[in-house]
Amino acid sequence: MSTVTIYHNPACGTSRNTLALLRARGTEPTVVEYLKVGWTEDGLRDLLRIMGVSPRDVLRVRGTNAVELGLTDPAKTDEDLIRAMVREPALVERPIVVGPKGAVLCRPVESVLTVL
């Protein structure tokens, strides 16, 4: 069983490059294609807690309908954002990697090294 998990979007270059870097370092992670499997509210809350960030910190705006949904409005609560991210998994920025030393949004790709 892998001790590293990548929440991956194979259509994303940064996500592919992060996965390639992990493999180049001899790590075969568990790959979760979150656009296919989605998120649960509790699972997303746990992941954010491990990362030490708020939902707003991982809200993907570019290439999504976040603005149209009003999610960039500062009045939106963390719970509003989490519910939207569960409904539309693409609203979560990628890739996120969970490793032995925590979890991180891998932008830039080299950020993954902090959790290995």
Give the active site residues. 12
In sequence order, which residues have a C-beta less than 8 Å from that of residue 15 and are 6 or more positions away? 6, 8, 9, 94, 95, 106
* Distance from C-alpha of 43 to C-alpha of 48, rounded to nearest angstrom: 9
The C-alpha R_g of the chain, in whole angstroms, comes to 14
Tokens of 81: 């954002």
**Largest separation between any pair of C-alpha atoms in the chain:** 44
Q: Peptide bond preceding 29: is omega within 30 degrees of 0, i.e. cis?
A: no
